[in-house]
Amino acid sequence: MLNIILMGPPGAGKGTHAKWLSTEWHLPHISTGDMFREAMASGSELGNKIKDIVNGGGLVSDELTCELVKERLSREDCANGYLLDGFPRTIPQAEALASFGKEIGREVNLVIDIECPSDVLIKRISGRRVCPKCGASFNVETMKPKVEGVCDYCGTPLIQRKDDNASSFAVRLENYHKSTAPLLDFYKKAGLLHSFDGTLPILNMEAELGALLKSKE
């Protein structure tokens, strides 16, 4: 059974590879960023509470985030494996996951870390356009959709995320280095960490990730 965490700085390609991995390996893709964006779009109480934090590039509180993830992982569709994207992002979140994961029978057994230098991340994020319906990502320079401004998969007009601007990105990157990067050591010590070069072409990355998952299946 594969209980996977996908890690990496904003723009490293977590979402892109998560989409492929979850389809190919039949794992539910659980993205805290997507869950928060859905809450914001629906105008729910949670959505209104977190809107300014998320759009500014800040981190939602550990308490709120952990509660949301615990509930999601408890569901039946995660019983045969899952793919967590964007969680944990802080040491307290990783500790909480270790403890409730044990409690609900969902312990992590593989951590995939996608590395990428900052200058590449900035280019990717500033050119990124996403599909608000199916979550697919494109880039106006490096990964153009077939028809400009339209999703290849579902035909929906693409949008730019509110936090994909220079100042929010700077906050996200700083949070990554300050709060999230220390987790790499945490999972390395646990013997779960596998790091990949996020600048590789997508197909090469898929081949490498596929080989790793096969060896762990």
Q: Which of 116, 121, 131, 173 binds Zn ion (CB under 5 A)?
A: 131
Q: Which stretch binds Zn ion (CB under 5 A): 23-31, 67-75, 105-113, 128-136?
A: 128-136
Binding site for ligand ADP (CB under 6 A): 10, 14, 32-33, 36, 53-54, 57-60, 65, 86-89, 93, 163, 172
Q: Name the one residue in this structure whose structure tokens are 């991340």.
A: 121
Question: Do 114 and 193 touch, CB atoms closer than 8 A?
Answer: no
Q: Which stretch binds Zn ion (CB under 5 A): 4-12, 108-116, 150-158, 171-179?
A: 150-158
Q: Contact between 130 and Zn ion (CB under 5 A)?
A: no
Query: What contacts 205, CB < 8 A, 6 or more positions away?
Result: 13, 17, 114, 196, 198
Q: Which does 154 bind (CB under 5 to 8 A by kind): ligand ADP, Zn ion, none?
A: Zn ion
Cis link prior to 88 (omega < 30° from 0)? yes
Select the residue whose beta carbon is closest to ligand ADP and give its number: 33
Give the whole-angstrom CA distance, residue 94 versus residue 66. Answer: 9
Give the whole-angstrom CA distance, residue 167 versus residue 71. Answer: 32
Q: Is the dihedral of CA 184, 189, 190, 196 positive or negative?
A: positive
Toward ligand ADP, which CB reaches closer, 33 or 81?
33
Catalytic residues: 14, 89, 128, 161, 172
What are the residues binding Zn ion (CB under 5 A)? 131, 133-134, 136, 151, 153-154, 156
